């Protein structure tokens, strides 16, 4: 019988929720790394027992952990993240130039095909790769060379938070940076270019054709269609049908097009999910109603999914890495909130159940479908 493992990173540790394929009863284990911010936890598609975790503390700094037994035990990995080549400056909040300084790892992305290869997205924004299971790290310095002095932090810092691998082309990677933009390499990281044509940030950028400065919140892709990308931007939900070469808005009838996560159904490449938030200053659901919105048409036409979710006096947020899907036949959707709840749907979002509550604020949610 198949099973599901939900990896939850919070402000005070990591948690693992497990269930069988019915997804009715859940066992919660943790907290792992209690007291630390667990920015992200993710398992390897090659070896489901290989899980990586990024933990951070303002006093103790950055730590990468690895488990090879499904999260039962953990071992510290390498934590030397060095910018390579000439380290210049980037734009700061006040418009001045500021030195590039490493702070923490926001996102970990294990390779689709190689057990010991894993990518890491950092703050200040940079992409790193390990070929030895996280023991040592090397930077893709050519990424920062793409107009790096124009990159600037968003409200949460200048973080590289999204790493997408093309399952049909190992040399293609797509990354997103808050608040610099979205970039793609087609040659394994030797060269990069912004892929922002059609993205308009009218409130942040005076130039409608600006390549740098867009605040990208999250990007999702269905593995069967690597050229189709969906984006939740600071404002606007967008879509690309050509690998990011051009984008167009698909916000449609959403009550707000501000939000953080975006996800694609495991078996329906045109079905996507977002969680509208009232505004960039009021980070809570519109009208205090927690609603996931689903489009079965790849955008523009959206329906509110509310069954099982609080519909009054709800003022939580759902962060960019806090939504994921499983690959069981009846696709499961999962998300976590800053109120410490983790919700799950076993029927593509039609109904929802809280599978964990009273956790610390949730920073990330990932799902493993187990054999």
| CATH code for the domain of 361 | 2.130.10.10
pTM beyond 0.95, yes or no = yes
Cβ contact 238:199 at 8 Å: yes
List the domain range (segments joined by +) for residue 141: 3-370
The domain total for the chain is: 1
**In this structure, what token pair is assigned to residue 84?**
């390579």
Rg (CA), the chain: 19
**In this structure, what token pair is assigned to residue 305?**
């999914």
Q: What per-residue confidence (pLDDT) applies to 108?
A: 98
Q: Cα–Cα distance between 126 and 120 in angstroms, integer?
A: 8
What is the DSSP code (8-state) at residue 143? H
Please report where in the chains the tokens 């078996």 appear, as a residue.
Answer: 267
Q: How far apart are the first and last CA of the chain?
A: 7
**In this structure, what token pair is assigned to residue 32?**
């792992």
**In this structure, what token pair is assigned to residue 335?**
């998300």
Cβ contact 245:229 at 8 Å: no
Q: Cα–Cα distance between 54 and 45 in angstroms, integer?
A: 18
Q: What per-residue confidence (pLDDT) applies to 1?
A: 59
Residue 53 in 3-state DSSP? strand
Q: Cα–Cα distance between 98 and 196 in angstroms, integer?
A: 24
**Greatest C-alpha distance within the chain:** 57
Q: Concatenated DSSP letters for 64-102?
A: EEEESSTTSS-EE--------S---EEE-TTSSEEE---
Per-10-residue mean pLDDT for the chain, 371 residues long? 92 98 96 97 97 96 97 96 92 94 97 98 98 98 96 93 97 96 98 96 82 96 98 97 98 97 98 95 95 98 98 98 96 98 98 97 97 88
Residues 6+ apart with CB under 8 A from 162: 107, 121, 174, 175, 176, 182, 216, 218, 219, 320
């Amino acid at each position: 019988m198949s099973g599901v493992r939900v990896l939850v990173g919070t402000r005070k540790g990591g948690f693992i929720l497990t269930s069988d394929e019915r997804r009715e009863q859940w066992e919660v284990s943790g907290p792992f790394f209690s007291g630390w911010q667990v920015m992200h936890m993710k398992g390897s598609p090659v070896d489901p027992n290989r899980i990586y975790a990024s933990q951070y503390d303002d006093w103790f700094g950055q730590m990468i952990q690895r488990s090879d037994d499904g999260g039962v035990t953990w071992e510290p990995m390498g934590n030397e993240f060095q910018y390579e080549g000439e380290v210049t400056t980037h734009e700061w909040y006040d418009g001045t130039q500021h030195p590039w300084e490493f702070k923490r790892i926001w996102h970990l992305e294990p390779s689709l095909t190689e057990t010991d290869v894993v990518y890491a997205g950092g703050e200040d924004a940079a992409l790193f790769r390990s070929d030895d299971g996280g023991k040592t790290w090397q930077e893709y310095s050519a990424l920062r060379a793409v107009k790096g002095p124009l990159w600037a932090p968003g409200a949460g810092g200048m973080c590289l938070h999204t790493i997408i691998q093309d399952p049909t082309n190992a040399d293609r990677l797509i990354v997103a940076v808050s608040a610099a933009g979205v970039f793609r390499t087609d040659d394994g990281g030797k060269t990069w270019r912004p892929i922002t044509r059609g993205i308009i940030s009218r409130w942040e950028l005076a130039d409608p054709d600006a390549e740098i400065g867009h605040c990208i919140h999250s990007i999702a892709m269905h593995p069967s269609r690597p050229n189709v990308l969906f984006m939740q931007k600071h404002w606007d939900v967008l879509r690309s049908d050509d690998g990011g070469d051009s984008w167009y808005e698909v916000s449609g009838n959403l009550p707000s097009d501000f939000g953080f996560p975006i996800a694609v159904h495991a078996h329906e490449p045109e079905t996507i999910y977002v969680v509208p938030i009232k505004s960039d200053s009021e980070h809570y659901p519109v009208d205090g109603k927690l609603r996931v919105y689903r489009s079965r048409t790849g955008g523009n036409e959206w329906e509110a999914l509310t069954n099982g979710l609080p519909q009054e006096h709800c003022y939580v947020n759902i962060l960019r890495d806090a939504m994921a899907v499983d690959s069981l036949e009846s696709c499961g959707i999962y998300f976590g909130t800053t109120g410490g709840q983790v919700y799950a749907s076993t029927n593509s979002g039609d109904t929802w159940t809280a599978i964990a509550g009273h956790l610390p604020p949730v920073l990330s949610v990932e799902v493993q479908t187990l054999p």
